[in-house]
Amino acid sequence: MTLQAVLFDLDGTLLDTAPDLANALNRLREDRGQTALTQAAVRKVVSNGANAMLTLAFQQSPGDPDFEELRAQLLAYYLENLASHTRPFEGIERLIEQLHAAGIAWGVVTNKPWPYTQPLMMQFSFASPPAVIICPEHVSHRKPAPDALLLACEQLQCEVNRAIYVGDHQRDILCGKHAGMDTIAVGYGYIDDNDSHLNWGAEHSVTKAEEIWPIIEAYLP
């Protein structure tokens, strides 16, 4: 198998978005006279999206009277400052350089909605631009369903077994498995204290982004 593409989850895998998400959440808490949550507390839930963040911060769940108002304001605050403190994880920029030099396409497959993903990705300049970006709006079923990875491969004109998916959540690994794609589970992302990237059944596991390239090299002729 000759590798043609490497696909990344976004939050917690490619970019460390937690600081800006935490700032938006704490701004919302400040509006309501509450003290700020620690970055560490927020990092543990951001992979599960705005709903999980609001549950952490306000003990609010979908269907509660104030939930939709809180959610709308949280997302508005986040959109105002998408990339003030967000950075690629250490080693990611070098990894993209290595992929570019090897002629391997790369892209993003995320559950983050397009209105936030697209302007966020515009803030970063890598050695090569992403060849594909797939968000929930582009498919009928979001991860862990395989739809997004299958669409990414279709747009890349890449056979599924010639791509690898990299992610920091079990849903990412399940998505890859459902698509018939090899996966890399990363341990540097947003993982709950009671979980481990080693438990998800990925073909490969790493603790830092610098460990991804040697895995990729093993797939090259």
Catalytic residue, from 9, 16, 20, 168: name it.
9
Model pLDDT, residue 12: 95
- Based on the fold, state whether residues 113 and 72 are members of the same structural domain: no
Q: Do 11 and 65 reside in the same domain of the chain?
A: no
Query: Helix 18-31 vs helix 67-80: angle between axes, to the nearest 10 degrees?
Result: 130
Report the domain count for the chain. Answer: 2
Question: Are 119 and 75 in a shared domain?
Answer: no
The CATH code of the domain that includes 59 is 1.10.150
Check whether residue 11 and residue 23 sit in a common domain.
no
Going from the first residue of the chain to its last (221 residues), give the mean pLDDT of each consecutive group of 10, the final group possibly shorter. 93 97 97 96 90 94 92 97 97 98 97 96 97 98 97 97 97 98 96 92 98 96 84
User: Is the overall model pTM greater than 0.75, yes or no?
Assistant: yes
Establish whether 31 is a catalytic residue: no
Q: What is the pLDDT of residue 31?
A: 96
Please indicate whether residue 64 is annotated as part of the active site.
no
| Domain encompassing residue 11 | 5-16+86-217
Residues 46 and 136 in one domain: no
Residues in the chain: 221
Last-in-domain residue among 80, 98, 119:
80
Same domain, 120 and 185: yes
Alpha helices (H) along the chain = 18-31, 39-43, 49-58, 67-80, 92-102, 114-121, 147-156, 170-179, 212-217
Residues 6 or more apart in contact with residue 198 via CB below 8 angstroms: 185, 187, 205
